[in-house]
Amino acid sequence: MGEKSRSRGCCGWFLVLVILGLIAGAIVFAVKKKSSHSDDDPAPVPGPPGAIQKKYSDALKMALRFFDVQKSGKLVDNKISWRGDSGLKDGSEANLDLSKGMYDAGDHMKFGFPMAFTATVLSWSILEYGDQMDAVGQLDPAKDSLKWITDYLINAHPSENVLYIQVGDPEVDHACWDRPETMAEKRPLIQINASVPGTDVAAETAAAMASASLVYKKSDPSYSSKLLKHAEELFSFADENRGIYSINIPEVQTYYNSSGYGDELLWAASWLYHATQDETYLDYVAGSNGKLYAKWGSPTWFSWDDKHAATQVLLSRLNFFGSESASKSVQVYKKTAEAVMCGLIPESPTATSSRTDNGLIWVSEWNSLQHPVSSAFLASLYSDYMLTSRTAKFSCNGDSYTPADLRKFAKSQADYVLGNNPLKMSYLVGYGDKFPQYVHHRGASIPADAKTKCKDGFKWLDSTEPNPNIAYGALVGGPFLNDTYIDSRNNSMQGEPSTYNSALVVGLLSSLVTTSSAVQSFT
């Protein structure tokens, strides 16, 4: 009897403890749920690519096609039927082959500053999300498009202190409306050198070369070494011959005016550190140059002209995955990267007010989609750094947020671009049932068999008919602050695509294709 009573007593107490445990667990769950700012979607987990998200996979495949639309030079097996050879004599006046590269936007200019930025972002996307690109068959197209630009950049750097930064005269170019295959206007060259320095464009080109060297390190070691050599030379050239390129070459100010070169120096040094593991470059960003140029504690927008936020996110990799000494030296960059993230999450106490009523980040009337897409790309990266390193949360003025909060924001921007907006229209041309039909793009607006010259092609600009050719994958400029869009070929403010926007949207979509997280090492 005594033994049975003791057994029943133990069982009773055990049941009481179980019930109390369940109650406590429920309370904890409720508190966590109440304090969580995340959606109900499953969070990405570290590991190989997971289930394919068809929406983002289809959009990624489309976005990458725009690079084929923009290619200059001798085209072999190009997938865009209405494109042909063009720019074959580019660079000939300097005995250089500058036939490759990509046209900047809807025109036929090759601007070195945004083109190098395109290559850097495309490299970064491949390095972080190449496995996800590969899962949907897009890694090789991405690498091929990148090489089309880096081949051009290599040839544009014929000696240590000379870099050709432009092919074509924009005033002459913009006075014509013709197909690139038939353009006959002169294509003059502009260079920077020790006497006419351009630190910003030289450093951005160094960043492009250094990041691309990592992309090809395993698949083509010889090409990778060549890229790295150019990157190191260009960085030295940029650092030792300082000057803003658009001040020294005033004629470029109308098109790609630079606000300064400090961000490009830090951006390039950061990529060179990742490519070489040379502590000199880490000391560069952590020392006096960082204090002078990094804008620590001041969140900024990532764009072709401003790389501060991207540098902060890139260097935060060292805090998540690097050595203790490397992590300590760039801790201040991570703190600013977190401030950038806090500004993006809508519920954050420090959330930016630069948004449309429907939640799209909106900073600039011209090319308005650049900032939401670049911000979403950075948010995806930071979210994946946290996931891969098992970092549960970060703080914004005392409120905690998770990787899922960042991913939710990134998806909201991507989904807006792909059609979840008041117009129910995709801003990615060729994706979805409804997208812009009057894209401001010469090649797309003129029939492939037209025999137009410089001036008579303007009838196609002014035509009321939709473009005869689809500029597949073009990300147009984007909506106004009131979420409206005027689909007119003459509306270049909203309707002109660019290659650098395409690189950013490729990065964003690649991050969302599956539920995988970022890689821990680029090598």
Residues with active-site annotation: 440
- What are the tokens at 147? 């090489």
Cβ atoms of 427 and 435 closer than 8 Å:
yes
Do residues 335 and 297 make contact, with C-beta atoms less than 8 angstroms apart? yes
Of the candidates 244, 258, 233, the one whose C-alpha atom is nearest the C-alpha of residue 192 is 244
Q: How far is CA 265 from CA 284, 297, 457, in A?
A: 9, 18, 42
Cα separation, 360 vs 425, whole angstroms: 14
| Dist. CA 281–CA 262, nearest whole Å | 14
CA of residue 351 relative to chain centroid, distance? 22
Question: Which residues, including other chains, have CB under 8 Å from residue 68's CB and lie 6 or more apart?
Answer: 78, 79, 80, 83, 145, 472
Euclidean distance between the first and the last CA atom of the chain, given in angstroms as a whole number:
71
Pairwise CA distance, residues 57 & 320, whole Å = 28
- Of the candidates 516, 506, 355, the one whose C-alpha atom is nearest the C-alpha of residue 431 is 506
CB burial readout 137-152, b (16+ within 10 A) else e: ebbebbbebbbbbbbb
Of 514, 520, 507, 512, whose CA–CA distance to 119 is shortest? 507
Q: Write the DSSP symbol of residue 42.
A: P
Q: What tokens does 309 get?
A: 């936020």
3-class secondary structure, 191: strand
Residues 6+ positions from 159 with CB-CB distance below 8 Å: none
Q: What does 293-344 look like in DSSP terms, one character per residue?
A: HS-TT-----SSS--HHHHHHHHHHHHHHS-HHHHHHTHHHHHHHHHHHHHH
| Contact present, 478 and 427 (Cβ < 8 Å) | yes
Q: Which of 506, 507, 487, 503 is nearest to 495 (CA)?
A: 487
